[in-house]
Chains A and B, each alone.
Chain A
Amino acid sequence: GAVVSQHPSWVICKSGTSVKIECRSLDFQATTMFWYRQFPKQSLMLMATSNEGSKATYEQGVEKDKFLINHASLTLSTLTVTSAHPEDSSFYICSARVPGGNRYEQYFGPGTRLTVT
């Protein structure tokens, strides 16, 4: 149980284009999802907290207009990287919290590797 998927697992896009990454909770409904970014050989950095039906809460230093988060349903959150540039190339990971479960326990997706050329 508590499986989280991400799609795509790997994407290459040209500089200036936008790319959307999906995060789905497959066997539970997630009112809260988190988006992380991981640079090579570095730790995961929380980008934003996504709550179903409301605006995402972004961490300090994360550009809201560049990283658009939509949590339109209880099983799907999307991250859109707008006007992507090579410095946006990274590994993006989402996680979801199980409602009613331990509020500190998050289930993670396998990640999406974004390469901007």
Chain B
Amino acid sequence: AQSVTQLDSQVPVFEEAPVELRCNYSSSVSVYLFWYVQYPNQGLQLLLKYLSGSTLVESINGFEAEFNKSQTSFHLRKPSVHISDTAEYFCAVSDAGGTSYGKLTFGQGTILTVHP
């Protein structure tokens, strides 16, 4: 069984400031890791994922996350946020293989609010 903990339920920042949304996971098996974003009144959208290879993954809109196996973390960062980044962000983990592949375990979500 896996679990995901997002350490901050809300993160307020000013525009153009850097931000880090923290995510830690627990699992007895190898995992794949994901960040999803949910804008108001919309469904969750995949922001970025780590499946294998480089531990640093990037999204097309400037976010990045680094898989740290020793610290069981997958923190999401952006060096300079925009008003449009205001949304709720969910960290998720999936069992890497086996019969449960594709099933996601989500964290509680972090609401990022970017102020002008």
Residues of A within 8 A of B (CB): 4, 32, 34, 36, 41-46, 49, 93, 95, 97, 103-111
Contacts and interface: CB of A to CB of B under 8 A. Distances in A.
Contacts of A93: 43-44
A103 B43 contact: no
A104 B44 contact: no
B94 interface: yes
Given A105-B46, A108-B44, A110-B43, A97 B106 contact: no
Interface string B36-80: 100001111110010100000000000000000000000000000
B104 interface: yes
Given A42-B108, A104-B49, A109 B43 contact: yes
A68 B90 CA distance: 27
Nearest to B108: A43
Nearest to B3: A43
Interface of B: 4, 9, 32, 34, 36, 41-46, 49, 51, 90, 94, 101-109
Contacts of A109: 43
Nearest to A3: B43
- The 9 A-B residue pairs with the shortest CB-CB distance, nearest first, are A108-B43, A108-B44, A43-B106, A44-B106, A110-B43, A43-B108, A109-B43, A103-B102, A43-B107
A46 B103 contact: yes
B102 A46 contact: no
A47 to B, nearest CB: 11
B104 A106 contact: yes
24 contacts: A4-B43, A34-B103, A34-B104, A36-B106, A43-B4, A43-B106, A43-B109, A44-B90, A49-B103, A95-B44, A103-B101, A103-B102, A104-B32, A104-B94, A105-B46, A106-B104, A107-B43, A108-B44, A108-B45, A109-B43, A110-B41, A110-B42, A110-B43, A111-B43
